[in-house]
Amino acid sequence: MNSKLGPLFCILLSFGTVIRQTDMAYLNVAEFFNITNGNLSSITWAHAVNSKSELAASLNSSIMMLEADVVIGKINNSGNEIPIMAHPPANTSDLSLSDFLSEILEFNLKANSQAKKGVKLDFKSIEALENSLDELDKLYANMSYPVWINADIISGPVNATGTPVDPARFFKNTKHFQNSTLSIGWTTNYGQNFSTSTYSNDQITNMLDVILQNNVSQSITFPVRAGIAAESATQMRRLLSDVTNSTLTIWSGDGDNVNAKKLQQLILSVGVNKTYIDVPDALLKEINLSGSSSVAKTTLKLLGIALVAILVL
Ligand SMILES: *[C@@H]1O[C@H](CO)[C@@H](O)[C@H](O)[C@H]1NC(C)=O
Ligand SMILES: *[C@@H]1O[C@H](CO)[C@@H](O)[C@H](O)[C@H]1NC(C)=O
Ligand SMILES: *[C@@H]1O[C@H](CO)[C@@H](O)[C@H](O)[C@H]1NC(C)=O
Ligand SMILES: *[C@@H]1O[C@H](CO)[C@@H](O)[C@H](O)[C@H]1NC(C)=O
Ligand SMILES: *[C@@H]1O[C@H](CO)[C@@H](O)[C@H](O)[C@H]1NC(C)=O
Ligand SMILES: *[C@@H]1O[C@H](CO)[C@@H](O)[C@H](O)[C@H]1NC(C)=O
Ligand SMILES: *[C@@H]1O[C@H](CO)[C@@H](O)[C@H](O)[C@H]1NC(C)=O
Ligand SMILES: *[C@@H]1O[C@H](CO)[C@@H](O)[C@H](O)[C@H]1NC(C)=O
Ligand SMILES: *[C@@H]1O[C@H](CO)[C@@H](O)[C@H](O)[C@H]1NC(C)=O
Ligand SMILES: *[C@@H]1O[C@H](CO)[C@@H](O)[C@H](O)[C@H]1NC(C)=O
Ligand SMILES: *[C@@H]1O[C@H](CO)[C@@H](O)[C@H](O)[C@H]1NC(C)=O
Ligand SMILES: *[C@@H]1O[C@H](CO)[C@@H](O)[C@H](O)[C@H]1NC(C)=O
């Protein structure tokens, strides 16, 4: 990153520079799963597919996208340190990245098109990403299904202290995965006992700056934490309008404090054609995304009754 250019980009962005992204991800998720009306919220997710049993269960289900975490660690606590599927602080797993990728590749080769899966790899550190490149390179050309590459590359709310994945190294190492969607987010510090928290304007600007500085050409989705995103409608709209063709991927921690009403309003106002939703079932049940509010439904019902009354008379 050129530090001298930083302030210049900030100025440009503050004057409303729009980052033009194409939507070229090979087999764009909506197309791949034949989603009607571009309703991205109807894509289904398996979260943290980090073990052999989770993988088997996900493959034997109708779920479309498998989200899983990559860290450096050991298989069954022994042998060399390699990229494995696990969520920090875990550093051992019975599933390596190598096995995860090849099992899904083999599954998709045999599966009929309605059963095929896409994958989202959440790299928990720059080391995890850099040590996974050989394995990904080897299989990439044969992965004719959605392959998302995710990392938290910017410090985020609420005063999160986790170390983000270095953005310049992230973009440099993902440059040759042109058919992938880059899922780039913020570190977060949140949970059940947090009250109203938002993504700050600076945190949004920092994200826009690194996208511009690194000449990113892939499709972009911004993974945002449901409870915080629901309180940050203005910032979410800024992301979507400043990076054309970008989307949100709304995720949530189990038990996070989420204002479901505000979340529903956010999703419906930016559009279900702009929002992937990977949240626990309990939260999903709380939000109605059909697009017709209860007020609208009541109005329609009353109009219907009036019409019937008029016809009868
Ligand atoms: C969005 O992506 C499509 C497909 O790549 C492209 O044709 C279109 O120009 C893009 N729109 C903008 C505003 O960048
Ligand atoms: C696959 O799912 C079916 C039901 O959907 C179940 O009967 C079967 O046991 C599952 N197989 C495995 C290997 O989990
Ligand atoms: C893995 O985690 C365990 C338990 O937290 C810890 O004792 C061990 O040092 C870690 N191993 C490595 C290689 O970091
Ligand atoms: C790891 O442990 C699981 C059982 O928990 C076993 O099925 C698997 O074969 C082991 N893998 C290796 C590489 O030892
Ligand atoms: C999507 O539609 C195409 C063309 O109609 C079809 O070949 C394919 O099987 C469908 N895929 C899914 C996932 O339904
Ligand atoms: C990729 O697919 C080609 C053609 O089917 C095959 O020859 C090759 O072995 C595959 N490579 C991998 C790494 O699976
Ligand atoms: C990307 O997708 C195109 C099809 O749209 C394919 O021809 C190309 O080989 C893919 N590139 C890689 C690196 O897989
Ligand atoms: C975050 O940091 C700011 C500034 O240091 C402070 O005012 C605020 O209370 C902190 N918020 C939380 C939830 O710790
Ligand atoms: C949240 O607050 C409740 C009540 O004070 C407490 O029992 C619980 O442990 C807290 N949860 C977390 C994650 O701190
Ligand atoms: C981005 O593109 C500009 C203009 O072509 C170039 O000067 C700069 O070095 C590029 N930056 C990166 C990180 O590739
Ligand atoms: C996406 O949804 C929004 C809000 O519902 C709507 O205004 C817009 O026209 C839709 N865009 C497309 C391309 O369907
Ligand atoms: C979008 O898909 C969701 C999940 O399938 C569904 O509940 C909702 O009604 C759909 N919304 C629209 C506007 O099509």
* Stated pTM of the model: 0.88
Evaluate whether residue 263 is within a structural domain.
yes
Domain that holds residue 102: 22-294
Residue 3 has pLDDT above 50, yes or no: no
Evaluate whether residue 305 is within a structural domain.
no
Evaluate whether residue 219 is within a structural domain.
yes
Evaluate whether residue 135 is within a structural domain.
yes
- CATH no. for residue 214? 3.20.20
**Residue 288: per-residue pLDDT:** 87
Evaluate whether residue 13 is within a structural domain.
no
3-state class percentages of the chain: helix first, strand second, coil last, to nearest 5: 40, 20, 40
Evaluate whether residue 313 is within a structural domain.
no
Phi, psi for 164 (deg, rounded to 5): -70, 155
Residue whose CA lies nearest to ligand 9 atom number 10: 193
From the alpha carbon of 194, which atom of ligand 8 is closest?
Answer: 13
**Position 291 confidence tier, pLDDT thresholds 50, 70, 90:** confident
Selected residue with higher pLDDT from 23 and 170 = 170
State the average pLDDT over residues 279-283: 95
Q: Are 225 and 251 in contact (CB under 8 A)?
A: yes
**Residue 4: per-residue pLDDT:** 41
Work out the burial of residue 286: count CB atoms within 10 Å of its CB; fewer than 13 is exposed, 13-18 middle, 19 or more buried.
middle
State the average pLDDT over residues 104-120: 95
Regarding the beta carbon of 244 and ligand 1, being less than 6 Å apart is answered: yes
Work out the burial of residue 264: count CB atoms within 10 Å of its CB; fewer than 13 is exposed, 13-18 middle, 19 or more buried.
middle
Q: Are 241 and 18 in contact (CB under 8 A)?
A: yes
Evaluate whether residue 202 is within a structural domain.
yes
| Ligand 6 midpoint to CA 178 (Å) | 19
Q: Are 87 and 124 in contact (CB under 8 A)?
A: yes
| Ligand 5 midpoint to CA 33 (Å) | 7
**Residue 8: per-residue pLDDT:** 43
Number of domains comprising the chain: 1
Evaluate whether residue 204 is within a structural domain.
yes
